Amino acid sequence: MPTLPAWVGGSSKRAVPERVGPFKVLEKIGAGGAGEVWAAYDETLDRRVALKLVQRSGVADEQETRLLREAHALAKLSHPNVVTVHDADRTQDYVYIAMELVEGGTLKAAFANPAHGPRTRIGWLLQAARGLQAAHDLGLVHRDFKPANALLGVDGRVRVADFGLARLAEPNTPATPTQESADEASPQDALDSTFCDLTITGAILGTPAYMSPEQRLARRISPASDQFSFCVVAWQALYGVNPLANLNLAQWVAGKASLPSAPSVPGIPSGIASALRRGLEPSPDARHASMAPILRAFESAAQPRRGWKSAAVVGAVAIAGSGLAALALTPPTQSCTPPDLGWTTMRHLTAAAALDDGTDVGHTAATVATRGLRDFADSWAHRARAQCESEADLPCLERQRATHDRVTALLRQDAGRSHVPELLATLGRECDSNDTDRDASWIRLAPLWPELAAGRGQGVLQASTRIAATLANRPHSEDPRLRTELVRLRGAAQAQLGDAHEAVETLRVAYNIAERTGSNAVAAAVAADLARLTALELDQSDRGRVWLESAEAFGAVPRQVNARITFVRGLLAAKEGRWNGAAAAFERSAELQEDAPGYTDGPAEAWLRQAEALSRAGDKAQALRVIAKAIDRRRQLYGASHPKTEAASALEVSLQSL
């Protein structure tokens, strides 16, 4: 297991070289059917890792393939409740996977300690369920979930590990038979033979104890199979007995026997037992459609409801011209207290009003800020209330609040008047229900995006350096998404400061981390930025096309990322003089941004580029129609006398004179 127990001391007998690939091998920390696990040191990135090794000589190809399949499965996942894979490769003697080194133990050891009560166990199981759900969301099935395959770090965080049996869930592909599996046909005698080792009175031993009926019968494996295994683990952890013990499983599968009732245990709500019984149905089709109902049952038990602390909650700002009015939301009747933005304070209410200095630009800025801040407040309040009602834990709401606070602070400054759409755009990060990382560095990073939007790249670079120094002291426990965000921010700041060479090198690191950890949307967006920088700023068109192809290779990504990629495709086509192709790409980019908030400038930028490409392609009439849309949007966003609007108008005049 990729685990370094906190009590480990001394050293183990060395059976591997001093180095494997780029890693310095330290002490042995585990072994299993798929190889040995050693603590190792990555000198390049200055961090300790868990190195899973399989010797290539004398080892079946199947075992080597299984190890690399584990790496492939884990590389697709970036979730706090799934062990992180850093690297995987072959050397002359070994196949290896480098994973995060988790200091602690396993849930198997934790569950064996009777001192851990129901509430603690429910919390651990909830985290494991979230990790499995994250895998299922990517079409992955673990196929071997058990307490020994869930790591419990000293930080209290559970990571699902050992995806050596995981594979893409394919609707029409049967499972590979195991030694314990029956033939594809399932008459009663086959069932009896298959389950004979599981009907031992009072004890079910080994992995088969958690295996779903369809897996043992070599039938199709699906996320419902993991759901079954999780429910067996949870039942045993909470009620002290495996639900399949003392049960004739052949009769149970045939519908001639039923599971025992859950014993009454103080601190365990009846809703958990109901959710687990449904997940333990013999037929996959009879189980929950996903892990979601089980997650809700465990979340409800893990987080008790809270009472309202005050009747006045989230409000919104409304400004007419230079006037100001605070609109308070009607106090809801729910029995929980969602967090709020503090919109009833004068500090927030005056943020937009301060923009109106009597000029066209100032009045437009105040109007746009009012609409954008009000929309964000309503959306944020809705998500906060939903979080409270579902008892979910969405720390990204706190990051959004930190971003919002910095945006309102910048809006009260003169510099904010020229960047209202850019500042409001930084509020648009959505909350992920799987995002549970509460690392304080996230809160420190969040306000830096508005700073960058205000053109303060140098300050952002300095602040990100300080945060990086903090993270360097604890690389072994670092969330790769956090490092990706940090490195990506630094690269964007370097690009803003005109240092394209440094920006490219920095963004390459961000891309590698995001791609390796399965953050496809982030990797695709960074690859698009790299394509633009290398092709346009460094004048390396060939490298730019390679990065663009990398961005496009990720396939399905969010609309805003797709719009970004498509826009860069237009830039590269324009650089190469392919004006028709450029015009089509810019038009598509604008279409992909049709649903974007009304305070974003993206569609206008795409229309301006499209108009220029159409003009160069000889379609002057269409170019003028398109540029008129861009100018109209710029006037609404910035005002008629803003430099961005004036630049668009100047382009229109230039096109008319051709």
Most confident stretch, 14-28, 255-269, 327-341, 575-589 = 575-589
- Domain contains 261: yes
Among 250, 272, 302, the domain-final residue is 302
- Domain contains 403: no
Instruction: Assess whether 112 and 94 both reside in one domain.
Output: no
* CA pair distance 608, 592, nearest whole angstrom: 15
Which 3 state secondary structure label does DSSP give 106? Answer: strand
**Residue owning tokens 């503090």:** 342
- Domain contains 572: yes
Question: Mean pLDDT throughout 339-347?
Answer: 48
Question: Mean pLDDT throughout 559-586?
Answer: 94
Instruction: Assess whether 187 and 292 both reside in one domain.
Output: yes
**Does position 343 have pLDDT exceeding 90, yes or no?**
no
Residue 418: predicted pLDDT: 85
Instruction: Assess whether 46 and 132 both reside in one domain.
Output: no
Residue 371: predicted pLDDT: 80
pLDDT in tens, 10-24: 334 446 778 888 889
**Does position 233 have pLDDT exceeding 90, yes or no?**
yes
Show the tokens assigned to 507: 């963004």
Output 528 or 164, whichever has higher pLDDT. Answer: 528
* CA pair distance 494, 510, nearest whole angstrom: 13
Q: Which residues contact 70 (CB under 8 A, 6 or more apart)?
A: 34, 52, 97, 162, 163, 164, 166
**Does position 167 have pLDDT exceeding 50, yes or no?**
no
**Distance from chain centroid for Cα 81:** 11
* CA pair distance 132, 228, nearest whole angstrom: 12
Residue 203: predicted pLDDT: 38
What is the 8-class DSSP label of residue 208?
A: G
Per the structure, the count of domains in the chain is 3
Task: Dihedral sign for Cα 513, 515, 518, 524, please.
Answer: positive
The pTM assigned to this predicted structure is 0.51
* CB-based burial, 345-366: b 16+ in 10 Å, e otherwise: eeebbbbbbbbbeeeebbbbbb
Residue 323: predicted pLDDT: 32
Question: Mean pLDDT throughout 281-285?
Answer: 90
The mean of the pLDDT values for the chain is 78
Residue 335: predicted pLDDT: 47
pLDDT in tens, 461-482: 998 888 887 777 665 455 788 8
* CA pair distance 427, 436, nearest whole angstrom: 19
Beta bridge partners of 3: 102
What does each C-alpha distance from 144 to 160, 206, 214, 264, 409 come to in angstroms?
Answer: 10, 11, 13, 29, 51
Residue percentage of the chain with pLDDT more than 90: 32
Question: Mean pLDDT throughout 280-288?
Answer: 91
Residue 383: predicted pLDDT: 73
Among 100, 130, 151, the domain-final residue is 100
Task: Dihedral sign for Cα 356, 360, 365, 371, please.
Answer: positive
Question: Mean pLDDT throughout 40-49?
Answer: 82
Among 41, 75, 100, the domain-final residue is 100
**Does position 272 have pLDDT exceeding 90, yes or no?**
yes
Q: Write out the E strands in 297-437.
A: 315-318, 325-328
**Cβ count near 261 (within 10 Å):** 9
- Domain contains 129: yes
Please give the residue range of the domain that contains residue 46.
3-100
**Does position 565 have pLDDT exceeding 80, yes or no?**
yes
Instruction: Assess whether 142 and 88 both reside in one domain.
Output: no
**Does position 450 have pLDDT exceeding 50, yes or no?**
yes
Counting beta carbons within 10 angstroms of the beta carbon of residue 474, is it exposed (0 to 12), middle (13 to 18) or buried (19 or more)? exposed
Q: 647: domain CATH number?
A: 1.25.40.10
Question: Mean pLDDT throughout 297-323?
Answer: 46
Label residue 287 by pLDDT band (50, 70, 90): very high
pLDDT in tens, 587-629: 999 999 887 777 788 899 999 999 999 999 999 999 999 999 9
Q: 232: domain CATH number?
A: 1.10.510.10
